[in-house]
Amino acid sequence: MSTPRLSETSYIVLGLLDLAGQGTPYDLKQAAQVSTNNFWSVPHTQIYTECARLASEGLLDEEQEQSGRRRKLYSLTDPGREMLNAWRSMPSRDTYELRDETTLKLFFGGDPKTLAAGQIESHSNRLEEYEALLEHKQHLPRGQLLALECGIGHEREFIRFWKQVSKEG
């Protein structure tokens, strides 16, 4: 059997199932919305198709309810856990990919002051959300806490940058 080709979406599905134990694609979509989508967004439709694909590759077990909504419940197989563990332990040399519409508008001559106002508000709101999550830090695994601290650092820097842009006009 050949080694399955896995993407970041694959690893998000595997990782969320590792954290949850088992879940439906809907459960994973909900979990991603409040966790990984803060730094790596995945359209929810990809989560549904990726679960089925990973099950066909033998990386997930799939159980379907026999009555009711006939939802599919997924969990990691041993090979799925092995692939997730190998990926987690592999160093990454990729750099952060910034895809920000406002920065694109700024690049193409958008009014800095107008753009800055919306960005300061938006990043301040996100920073408040992240800092509220810190109140529960004793319940977070170390990796999730570090990812949260990374997000807080990014938001603070965005706020600093856009305030400077607003000041300079």
Q: What is the pLDDT of residues 98-143, one digit of tens each?
A: 788 999 999 999 999 999 999 999 999 999 999 998 888 888 889 9
pLDDT value, residue 39:
87
Write out the two tokens for 27: 């459960």
Stated pTM of the model: 0.81
Q: Residue 130 falls within a domain, yes or no?
A: yes
Q: 82 with 113, same domain? A: no
pLDDT in tens, 11-55: 999 999 999 999 999 999 999 998 998 888 899 899 999 999 999
Write out the two tokens for 143: 């990796």
CA dist 26 and 43 (Å) reads: 12
Q: 131 with 74, same domain? A: no
Q: Choose one of 24, 56, 89: the last residue of a domain.
A: 89
The parent domain of residue 67 ranges over 8-89
Write out the two tokens for 168: 């300079």
Residue that the structure tokens 């952060």 belong to: 96
Q: Choose one of 89, 116, 139: the last residue of a domain.
A: 89
